Amino acid sequence: MTRIAIRPCPSQEAELLRQGGVHPVLARLFAARGLNNAAELSSELAALMQPSGLLHIGRAAEFLADSIAAGKRMVIVADYDCDGATACATAMRGLRAMGAKVDFIVPNRFEYGYGLTPEIVELTAREKSPDIIITVDNGIASIEGVEEAKRRGIDVVVTDHHLPGDSLPDARVIVNPNQPACGFPSKHLAGVGVVFYVLLALRAEMRRRGVFDAQTQPKLDALLDLVALGTVADVVRLDTNNRILVAQGLKRMRAGRMHPGVAALFRVSGRASRTASPFDLGFALGPRLNAAGRLEDMSLGIECLLTDDETRAWELAQQLNDINLKRREIEAEMQDAALLHLDDFQPADRSTICVYDDGWHQGVIGIVASRLKERFYRPTITFAPAGDGMIKGSGRSIPGFHLRDALDLVSKRAPGVIDKFGGHAMAAGLSLRAEAFEHFCAAFEAIGQAWLTESQLERVVETDGPLEENCYTTQFIELLDGQVWGQGFAPPVFCDEFRVLSQRILKDRHLKLMLEKKGVRYDAIWFGHTDALGERARVAFRLDANEYNGVTRVQLLVEHAESA
C-alpha cells in the first residue's frame, strides 16, 4: 500500500523565514524540513562547524604534523565505495600538499572484505612498508587489524564515520563524530567529510608551528568537489554542515574548478558540470565510481580522482563507464532472479525480506536489496556466495527500522549465527555460514515483527502540498535547483488534484499524461508505471524543466498518483 501525505509545516517558522527575505514557497519548504533560522541557509565556508569540536582531532593533527616533520611513510587504507574513494583521494592530495610521504591501498572486496583486517595489514606491510596506516571511511570496527598493525610496529590513525561497536580499536588516535564522548554536533559527516576536517586541523597545526602562513598554506577548498561527491554518494543526512560542504563543491564544479577526474566523470555520464546538482553526483558520477569497487578494483576509481592529466582522467572515466554498463546488466539479471525467488512473497505476512541465490555477484547485492526494498517496502537483505561455505549479505532498510541495531540484536539472541556485521541505520552488511541462512532469516523476521507496526510498513509519499499556480515556471525550477536537497533534506514533492485529459504508454514502460487544473494544462510523465488513471487523479509530483527542440517547458515528474 502507498498513500500520499502532506508533511506538516510550522507556519510561525515559515513566516519568520519569509520575513528574513526567503522566497515564500522556499520558506514553507525549509520550515517543513525543520529549518527555522535563515542563518542555517548560509552556504559559505565560514559557517562550517569548527574542527576543534571533533574528539581527538587536535591529537591527530599533532601526530600527523610530527610524522610529516620526521619523514615517516604513511599509507591510506580506503574503503571500496564512492565515499571511500573520494576520502582516499582527498587524504592523498591534502597530505601531499602538506609535505607527507603518502601512498594508498584499497582492499579488493572479494579477497579481503571490508576494513582494516589483519590480512590487509599484512599486505600493506609487505607492499608499502609504512610507519603509519591511516584509515578513511573504515577502521572503527577493526580491532584485530589494529592489533596486528601494533604487533608490526605500525601506528594507526582511524578516521571513520560508521557507528562503533561495544569496544573501540586500540589505535594511536580515532577521529569519528559517532564515537563515544564526541560532542561534534554534525553526526552525519561522510568518511570524506571526516578526513577533510582532519586536514583542516592538520593545516592549522602546521600554521601554528610556522610551516605555513595564511598566504603559503595549501588551499584545501580545492578538495571540495571530492568532498561533495563522496558526501552525496554515501547518502548521509544533509544537515546544515553537510549542505555547506556540498554547496561549496557544487559551486566549484559549476565554475569549472574541479579535478580532471571529476570533470571526466561528468563528461562520460553526459551531464553538464555547469548545472551540477546533487542528483548528478548521486545518480551519475557516484554509480560509475562505485561500479569499480563492486565488480573490479576501486584503485581504478581512486586513480581517476588523483590524476592531474586530463587525457588519463578521460581514459579512466571511460573504463569506469564500461564497468558500470556491465554492472547494470548483472543487476538486471539479479533483479529478475530475485523476483522469481519472491514469487510467493505475501507482504501482509512478512515484515522483512531475505533472499539468497548461489549465482549472484556479491558486488551488486546491495543495489538489488535497495530495489527490492523500494518495491516491497520492507527491510531487505540479499545474499551471495563468498567462498569457503560463507555467504555475504547487504541490507537496506526503511524509516523506523535501524538495520545495524537489528543485526546486533540477532547476534545477541542467536550467538554464532552471524560471523561479522556493521553499518548504519539504513544500510548494513554481514557475513554468515550458508547453513545458517534460514536460522538468520527467522531471527531477523522476528525482530521485524516486534519492531515494525502496520503503519510503518505502509509506503508514504511525503509531499509539500499544493504548489502555488504562479510557480509552475522554469524560473521557479531554477530557484529550487539553486538549493542543496538530498537525504534528510528531501527534494520538494508537491501534490494536487488534476483532471486527466489524456494518457498513453511510452516505450511499453512509462505513462505519459496531460493533466489540467483550473483551465491550465500540464505535461506529466510517470516513469516505470503503465496502469491507467481515472478521469480525476491526486498526483504527487516533482517539477522538471524539459528541453526539447530548443524549447524548455515545465513538466511534472509523477512520484505517485491515485484516482480521486
- Average pLDDT, 10 consecutive residues per value, the chain (564 residues): 93 95 96 91 93 98 98 96 97 98 89 87 96 97 97 98 93 98 96 98 98 96 98 94 97 98 98 95 96 92 98 98 97 96 92 97 95 95 96 96 96 95 88 97 97 94 97 96 93 98 95 97 95 96 90 95 90
The architecture in CATH of the region 53-308 reads Alpha-Beta Complex (3.90)
Give residue-wise pLDDT tens across range 467-524: 999 999 999 999 999 999 999 999 999 999 999 999 999 999 999 999 999 999 999 9
> With contact defined as beta carbons under 8 Å apart, do 249 and 277 qualify?
no
Q: How far apart are the first and last CA of the chain?
A: 16
pLDDT value at residue 564: 86
pLDDT value at residue 40: 87
Strands 73-78, 101-105: pairing kind: parallel
> With contact defined as beta carbons under 8 Å apart, do 331 and 365 qualify?
no
pLDDT value at residue 136: 98
**What residue ranges in 121-182 does DSSP mark as E strands?**
132-136, 155-159, 173-175
pLDDT value at residue 386: 94
pLDDT value at residue 159: 98
pLDDT value at residue 423: 81
Sequence-distant (6+) residues with CB within 8 A of 442 are none
By CB neighbour count within 10 A (0-12 exposed, 13-18 middle, 19+ buried), where does 523 fall? middle
Q: Which phi and psi (to 5°) does residue 196 adopt?
A: -60, -40
Residue the block writes with cell 579488493: 108
Edge-to-edge strand list for the sheet holding 73-78:
101-105, 73-78, 132-136, 155-159, 173-175
pLDDT value at residue 239: 94
Give residue-wise pLDDT tens across range 96-138: 999 999 999 998 877 777 789 999 999 999 999 999 999 999 9
Intrachain domains 53-308 and 331-457 with the same fold? no
Pick the CATH number of 331-457 from 3.40.190.10, 3.10.310.30, 3.40.1180.10, 3.40.50.2000: 3.10.310.30
CATH code, 461-563: 2.40.50.460
In DSSP terms, which residues pair with 156 in a beta bridge? 133
List the chain domain ranges: 53-308, 331-457, 461-563
Sequence-distant (6+) residues with CB within 8 A of 144 are 117, 118
Q: Which helix (H) or strand (E) holds 122?
A: helix 118-128
Q: What is the largest CA-CA distance in the chain?
A: 76
Identify the sign of the CA torsion 449, 452, 458, 459. Answer: negative
